[in-house]
Amino acid sequence: MRVLFVNELGAACGHVGPLVRMAKRLADYGAEPVFALADPVTPAAILTETPWSVLPAPSHPAPLKPRAGLASYGDLLACHGFSALVELRSLVSSWDGLFALVKPALLVASHAPTAVLAARGRLPAALVGTGFALPPADMPLFPALRPDTASFRPQFQVLETVNALLAQRGEGPLACLPQILEGQARLLETTPLLDPYASVRTEPYLTLDAPTGPFEPFGVHGGIFASLDVSGGQTAETVEALGLLAEALPVEARLWGRGSAAAMRFLVRRGAVVHERPAPMLEALQRARLVVSQGGHDLSLLAALAGRPQVIVPQTLEAMLHGAALEKAAAGKLAWGGGRETVLDHINWGLADGALGARRLAPTLPQQTPWDAETFLLGFGGKIQRRKSPSAAKPKRGERGQGVRGGVTPAEANDSTPAAKPAA
Q: What is the pLDDT of residues 55-66, one digit of tens each?
A: 999 999 999 988
303, 232 Cβ separation under 8 angstroms: no
Q: What is the pLDDT of residues 218-277, one digit of tens each?
A: 655 679 999 998 887 678 899 999 999 998 999 999 998 888 999 999 999 999 999 987
| Cis amide leading into 104 (omega within 30) | no
Nearest to 296 by CA among 85, 15, 5, 6: 15
The strand pairing partners of 293, in sequence order, are: 227, 312
Report, as ranges of residue numbers, the positions in the chain whose pLDDT lies below 70.
12, 210-214, 218-221, 233, 338, 387-424
The predicted structure's pLDDT at residue 221: 60
Q: According to the model, what pLDDT value does residue 392 have? A: 37
Tell me how far the alpha carbon of residue 33 is from its chain's centroid: 19
For CATH 3.40.50.2000, list the domain ranges present in the chain.
2-205, 223-363
Q: Under 8 Å CB-to-CB from 1, ≥6 apart: which residues?
A: 30, 31, 32, 105, 106, 377, 380, 381, 382, 383
Second-level CATH architecture of 223-363: 3-Layer(aba) Sandwich (3.40)
CA atoms within 13 A on the CB side of 411: 5
The DSSP H or E segment spanning 389 is none
Helix (H, G, I), strand (E, B) or coil at 245: helix
Which is it for strands 273-275 and 369-370: parallel, antiparallel or unpaired? unpaired
Q: Which of 311, 306, 313 is nearest to 282 (CA)?
A: 306
- Write down the pLDDT at residue 410: 29
Pairing type for strands 369-370 and 206-207 reads: parallel
Say what the alpha-carbon torsion angle 324, 326, 328, 333 is, to the nearest 10 degrees: -70
d(CA 133, CA 76): 10
Among the listed residues 279, 205, 210, 212, the one whose alpha carbon sits nearest the alpha carbon of residue 28? 210
Q: Is the CA virtual torsion 146, 150, 152, 157 positive or negative?
A: positive
Class of residue 190 by CB neighbours under 10 A (exposed 0-12, middle 13-18, buried 19+) = buried
First to last CA, the chain: 44
Antiparallel, parallel or unpaired: β 273-275 and 206-207: unpaired
> pTM for this one?
0.86
The answer to whether domain 2-205 has CATH 3.40.50.2000 is yes
